[in-house]
Amino acid sequence: MSISLVDLKQEQLLKWVTQALERSQKGKIPDYIPLLQKADPNGFAAYILTVHRAYSTGNLELTFPLMSVVKPFLLLYLLADLGSDAVFRRVGGQPSNYPFNSLEQLQIDRGFPRNPMINSGAITLASLLSGKDAAEACENLRLWLNKLGNCHLFLDELMLESVLSLPNVRNQALVQELAAKGSLDNPQLALNIYNYICCLAGNIVDLARLGLLLVSPPTALKVEHCQIVQEIMTISGLYESSGGFALKVGFPTKSGVSGVVLSLVPEQGVIACYSPPLDAQGNSVGGLFLIEQIAKALSINRF
């Protein structure tokens, strides 16, 4: 007998959430974006959404910036807008064993970003968004996602101000290298667009609805594009932890440094979680724990 997401019990979910919160005490709040550093380590929200049913726990009102969780949706937008050939001329589709903002990885790859989930790849893809400036490029993506996903993403201007208040030397080094190797024409504009889209924000329901676009695509999207995004998330959505997580859990998953994590349960639904303390790779400790428990519950019953 197999159980699926719709069979999960609310009591079971609450038990895992309590354990996830305990574990998250071991994580760290990132300190390189001042406003993110102010996040409540005990802030928590989880939303499990299938086409038939939704479960939730925690604070559904909490809003947070998507940060790197925007990357799969940037990829989806560009696949729909430009097609896969144009996208994969600019970025690879291989996993990386280096951190998400690694200059070394980019140097090894001679300036060709290894995948769209690391910063070099996402910054390069951000440069392909159309718009007269960063604000307009971000707005185009925001409106498209809100319409398709029926969600309410907004630009978190205070977060953007905070991101821009400290120079991010790693991202600066990445764009210089990309420009030096001919991968970017206008490095500052590309980085600016990237910073804007990382500050698109919403609540946990918005995040889950975005995820459902990839699992149960509306007719406006091509199924093959959603499959490409899912594959890229599986191999690189959690940076250096992607391979281990894929073996253990197997769900395409993407994390963001704000403590968000989005996992796709193919043909069933999505698990969206927000819990700010991060592990050494920059992934939400509580979020990954919760997803792992759900995956175990689904597979134990499968055999």
Write each residue from 160 to 179 as x if it is in contact with ligand GLN (CB under 6 A), else as -, in one continuous string: -----------x--------
SS (H, E, C) 61-124: CCCEECHHHHHHHHHHHHHHHHCHHHHHCCCCCCCCCCCCCCHHHHHHCCCCCCCCCCHHHHHH
Handedness of CA 277, 279, 284, 288 (dihedral sign): negative
Q: Is residue 100 packed enough to be buried (19+ CB in 10 Å), middle (13-18) or exposed (0-12)?
A: buried
Choice between 256 and 287, CB closer to ligand GLN: 256
**What is the rounded CA–CA span in Å between residue 206 and residue 292?**
22
Restricted to residues 248-277, the positions that interact with ligand GLN (CB under 6 A) are 256-257
Which residue in the set 27, 187, 282, 287 belongs to the binding site for ligand GLN (CB under 6 A)?
A: 282
Cβ 301 to ligand GLN, closest distance in Å? 33
Cβ 30 to ligand GLN, closest distance in Å? 8
Restricted to residues 89-118, the positions that interact with ligand GLN (CB under 6 A) are 100-101
Tell me, what DSSP letter sits at residue 259? S
Which residue in the set 68, 120, 146, 242 belongs to the binding site for ligand GLN (CB under 6 A)?
A: 68
Choice between 171 and 275, CB closer to ligand GLN: 171
Cβ 194 to ligand GLN, closest distance in Å? 7
Total residues contacting ligand GLN by CB under 6 A comes to: 10
Q: Are residues 155 and 201 in contact, defined by beta-carbon separation less than 8 angstroms?
A: yes
Which residues bind to ligand GLN, rule: CB under 6 A? 67-68, 100-101, 119, 171, 198, 256-257, 282
